[in-house]
A and B are shown apart, each in its own frame.
Chain A
Amino acid sequence: MTDIPHPPSRLHARDLELGYGARSIVKDLEVVIPDGQITVIVGANACGKSTLLRGLARLLKPTRGTVILDGLDIQKRPTGEVARILGLLPQQPVVPSVVTVTDLVGRGRYPHHSGFRRWNPEDDRIVAEALELTGTADLAGRLVDELSGGQRQRVWIAMALAQHTDLLLLDEPTTYLDLAHQIDVLDLLAELNATRRTTIVMVLHELNLAARYADHLIAMQGGRIRAEGAPEAVITEEIIRDVFSLDSRVVLDPVSGTPMVLPLSVRRKESRDHHTDSRR
């Protein structure tokens, strides 16, 4: 399928510029998404994280440069073909008014069907498997509307699993979930990555969780990549100061051994400085 002898990865972007209308959000970006790993994109609000994810998912046409999926320009590939390789879970998907869990998860099979190839037993098997993996099998007959936030997020992930793609892109999959449910969703994604070797790319706000779950971390600042690599290399006091304009201490997470950010509140820092000054 590809003419390039050794593509750096299945999904990467060259000289990427993304924007809405005349306003460019992401500029001069070279991104390589490592195959079979979990990549987490972090950064301050409005730094272009979600825009980058949308560009990688083909939802946004680049104003310059190309996103390459399996050696081919993603914009030039048929939508249905892309949807069988790369899945996407947007930040706030729309729940149809009255739909059961099974029905919704089944819609993930859409790209595998056509006018000729309709629903078949294989689809039933894949949907059942997606429900099983996400622990939503006992919710199968329930209406999605009636589920809690955590359950609903699992159902959306089940739908993405039913799409059966090698790559899965998620925009803030843990937003609006309490800490226990955030861990729950991230564990589920990590398990998926471990068992199926699914390449996962997600935008996360919570840095300490990002450091725990990411194999590859991309820190963005003002539409550019400020730093990328292993969490240990990216989560440093200097980079956090640049990316979030926030002073912090970085220590080792006693649970996971990954870097952990302890933010210094500006107000408390001032009062402490004041305190030490007065002692002098």
Chain B
Amino acid sequence: MQWLGGSLSNVEWRSIGLFYALVLPVLAAIAWQSRVLRVAELGDDLRAGLGAGSGSIDLLMALAVILAGLATAVAGPVAFVAFLSGPISRALTGGRTRLVPAALVGAVLVVLGDHIGAYLLGDVNLPVGIITGALGAPALIWLIATGATTRGSR
């Protein structure tokens, strides 16, 4: 069941310890490397012109995949959290892309989704992945639709 919709119900404290032991070094490495994102945003030519090789982007991607993999190993696939946290934190911080606010928004989304899942239907405990999926899918469609119109008008 956990592998269909991610859930926090079966997570044990034992796995949390191991999880943090693995996640913290990866987080530190990402924080160390994250400044490359500021120039990666400017396109491949300027990124290279400013002295950031494509290897540093590949490394960041690999670290992000490891991070997502670790989270999935503990809670299963909790859909759309990453899709939503970026744009929401962007709206909250006045448009700046920052990793820490995005991570905090993601954490809030998961806890909130878990809470809604636990109390929405009385006795039935819905897994958090179902809630984030149900909320996230329309939000994603909305983001794509509005994103497409702002691009087109430019």
Residue contact B42 to A107, C-beta cutoff 8 Å: yes
B66 to chain A, nearest CB (A): 19
Flag if A93 contacts B45 (CB, 8 Å). Answer: yes
Partner of B49, one of A59, A81, A113: A59
Q: How many angstroms between the C-alpha atoms of A108 and B46 in the bound complex?
A: 10
Contact B48 A59 (CB under 8 A): yes
| Pair A90/B45 contact, Cβ less than 8 Å | yes
A163 within 8 A of B: yes
- Verify if B95 is at the interface (C-beta below 8 Å from A): yes
B43 an interface residue at 8 Å Cβ cutoff?
Answer: yes
Residue among B38, B42, B90 making CB contact with A93, cutoff 8 Å: B42
Count residues of chain A with CB under 8 A from any CB of chain B.
Answer: 29
* B26, chain A: closest CB distance, angstroms: 16
Residues of B within 8 A of A4 (CB): none
Minimum CB–CB distance from A101 to chain B (whole Å) comes to: 13
* Nearest residue, chain A, Cβ from B150: A97
Interface status of A212 (Cβ within 8 A of chain B): no
| Chain B count of residues within 8 A CB distance of the other chain | 20
Interface residues of B in 56-96 (CB under 8 A from A): 90, 94-96
From residue A103, how far is it (CB to closest CB) to chain B in Å?
8
Instruction: Report yes or no: B41 in contact with A83, Cβ–Cβ below 8 A.
Output: no
Q: Could you tell me if A111 and B41 are in contact, using CB atoms closer than 8 angstroms? A: no
Who on chain A is nearest to B48 by CB?
Answer: A59
Task: Report whether B45 and A88 are in contact in the complex, using a CB–CB cutoff of 8 Å.
Answer: yes
Q: Which residue of A lies closest to B56 (CB)?
A: A79
Residue contact A115 to B32, C-beta cutoff 8 Å: yes
Contact B43 A94 (CB under 8 A): yes
Contacts of B53 in A (CB 8 A): 79
Bound Cα distance A83, B90 (Å): 30
Assess the A98–B90 pair: CB atoms within 8 A. Answer: yes
What is the bound-complex CA distance between A97 and B91, given in angstroms?
Answer: 12
CB distance from A22 to the nearest CB of B (A): 21
Q: For the complex, what is the distance from the CA of A97 to the CA of B87, rounded to whole Å?
A: 11
B45 to chain A: closest residue by CB: A90
Q: Mark B134-145, 1 if CB is under 8 A from A, else 0.
A: 000000000000
Residues of A close to B43: CB separation below 8 A:
90, 93-94
**CB proximity of A51 to chain B, nearest CB, Å:** 13
- Chain B residues with CB under 8 Å of A110's CB are 35, 38-39, 50-52
CB nearest neighbor in A for B96: A98
Is residue A80 within 8 Å, beta carbon to beta carbon, of the partner chain? yes
Which residue of B is nearest A58, CB measured?
A: B48
CB within 8 Å of B: which A165-195 residues: none
When the two chains form their complex, are residues A59 and B45 in contact, meaning their CB atoms are under 8 A apart? yes
C-alpha gap A111/B52 in the complex (Å): 8
Q: Is the CB of A97 within 8 A of B95?
A: yes
**Which residue in chain B gives the minimum CB-CB distance to A145?**
B154
Is A96's CB under 8 angstroms from B42's CB? yes
A-chain residues with CB within 8 Å of residue B94 when the two chains form the complex: 98
CA distance A110 to B37 in the complex (A): 11
- Assess the A94–B32 pair: CB atoms within 8 A: no
Name B16-50 residues within 8 Å CB distance of A.
32, 35, 38-39, 41-43, 45-46, 48-50
Residue of A nearest to B41 (CB): A96
Nearest 10 A-B pairs (CB), nearest first?
A: A83-B51, A98-B95, A88-B49, A94-B43, A111-B51, A90-B45, A80-B51, A96-B41, A110-B50, A79-B51
Given contacts A57-B49, A83-B51, A88-B46, 10 further A-B contacts (CB under 8 A): A59-B49, A79-B48, A84-B51, A90-B49, A94-B41, A94-B46, A96-B42, A96-B97, A99-B41, A99-B95
Query: Taking beta carbons and an 8 Å cutoff, which residues of A are in contact with B?
Result: 54, 57-59, 79-84, 87-90, 93-94, 96-99, 103, 107-108, 110-111, 113, 115, 143, 163
